[in-house]
Structure 1
Amino acid sequence: MPLPLVPIAAFALRTGAVAGAVWLVRRSLVAGRTDQRAEDALDDMSEGLALHRPADRAVDGARQTNVASRFRRTLRWGDKGVEIDAALLGRLKIRKV
């Protein structure tokens, strides 16, 4: 019985494409660092979503919008559990040049 090469070749092409994409993304990553000031700011955030546009940042046609969000939950299964604490800070600055 002949070996069906078309399904094997299609699988090999898909696997190679995924491996190539992962390799490209991994190659472009740089080593990060932990900033204690940012860690403290994330720990001090209240739970929920906040969006604001500070008036003191609108200078010379520049606008700034800040977003902060925190989600904190504890999931339990029997006597064991997992705490999920996700925090997000974001800033979008738009300036006319």
Structure 2
Amino acid sequence: MPLPLAPLVPVALRLGLVAGSVWAVRRAIRRNTHVGRTDQRAEDALDDLAPGLAVHHPGDRAGGGASQTNTAARVTRTIRIAGRSYEIDAAFMGRLKIRKG
């Protein structure tokens, strides 16, 4: 007795469409990204950040129609999962600079 394959066609088409979309997105991401680099000066600056969040507007950067806002944050946590402990250290620094054109 032959197997009825007609009910499986819509499922196969959906799965093929999803797989093709994922492949296309991954290929586009790989084509448009570049190999990163590690800057030791930036690593040292992130290690020197104090825990918490800081936002400030440096006065020496304002002038000539420009303004600048700097942010920095650091969070360190130790979590325990299944008898193992993991230390998480997340830090970032950002700058938003706006100039009148």
Fold shared per TM-score above 0.5? yes
Q: 1:75 aligns with which of 73, 79, 89?
A: 79
Aligned 1:1-97 pairs, distance under 5 A: 1-3=3-5, 4-77=8-81, 79-97=83-101
TM-score by length of 1: 0.92
The secondary structure found in structure 2 opposite 1:45 is coil
RMSD: 1.2
- Unaligned ranges ≥5, structure 2: none
Q: Which amino acid aligns with 2:86?
A: V
- Unaligned ranges ≥5, structure 1: none
How big is the shift at 1:78?
5.7
| Structure number, greater radius of gyration | 2
The C-alpha deviation readout for 1:15-42, integer Å capped at 9, x for no partner, is 1101211110121111111111100000
| Aligned sequence identity (%) | 52
Number of aligned residue pairs: give it.
97
TM-score by length of 2: 0.89
